[in-house]
Amino acid sequence: MHDDHHHHNHGHDDGHHHHGPNGHHDHPHAPGHNGPAGKPLQWQTPHLPDHTHEPPVDPATVDLDLVETAFLEGFARAPDPSSFLRLAGIPFVGEMADGVRLHLLRVETEDLVDVGAVMPLVGGSGVAYHPLPARLTSHRRRLAFIYHDGNEQKPLGFAAARALADRSAASQFTVSGH
């Protein structure tokens, strides 16, 4: 027990740091103490984690996806689906490049939610399965336009349906005589 030898002499100096009436309180945390340290880092998103295993995206595809999403949202609520289809540029009677005429029978939408990912293992023996964290789960909707080409039904995607030559006005929805 040699606590007795250490008499802390500076005990009486504490509390005498009054800077008099001139009021210069030099606080170490002056205004702006969250300066450089508090810089927002959110805008520097280098690579979003979910695009690591995908090929680079074509901007046109992204735009089409947005249009397709808007179509799906709107079509689900459209009071008049026929008008909505016309606005969206989906022909009721469409002609393919080879002259085959297609008649739109039905629009199919389907909700898809990705909740897991499978990666091929190196060496090609099997796969590794990863359940996706919530922020990476993705809700997608699949959209198909079911056309009939005179023989059978042909499901077309949004882009393909829009790419058809629109013959709706020409045929006026009458049965053509061939």
Do the domain assignments include residue 167?
A: yes
Q: How confident is the model at residue 172 (pLDDT cuts 50, 70, 90)?
A: low
**Within-domain flag for 143:** yes
Q: Is the dihedral of CA 155, 161, 165, 170 positive or negative?
A: positive
Residue 86, pLDDT > 80, answer yes
Give the orientation angle of helix 81-88 with respect to helix 59-77, to 10 degrees. Answer: 170
More confident residue, 131 or 46: 131
**Cβ atoms < 10 Å from Cβ of 118:** 10
Number of independent structural domains in the chain: 1
The predicted pLDDT at position 88 comes to: 92
Tell me if 51 is assigned to some domain: no
Whether the predicted pLDDT of 45 surpasses 50: no
| 92 located within any domain | yes
Q: Which domain holds residue 150?
A: 58-113+139-178
Grade residue 62 by pLDDT with cuts at 50, 70 and 90: confident
CA distances from 162 to 33, 76, 91, 157, 158 (A): 57, 18, 7, 9, 6
Q: How far is residue 133 from each of residues 4, 6, 39, 49, 51, measured CA to CA in Å?
A: 61, 59, 27, 11, 14
**144-166, pLDDT tens digit by residue?**
999 999 999 999 999 999 999 99
User: Within 10 A of 117 (CB to CB), how many other CB atoms are there?
Assistant: 14
Q: What is the pLDDT of residues 91-107, one digit of tens each?
A: 999 999 999 999 999 99
Q: Does 31 reside within a domain?
A: no
Instruction: Give a yes or no: residue 32 inside a domain.
Output: no
Residue 9 pLDDT exceeds 80: no
The per-residue pLDDT for 63 is 78
Residue 177 within a domain? yes
For residue 162, tell me if it sits in a domain: yes
Tell me, what DSSP letter sits at residue 113? Answer: E
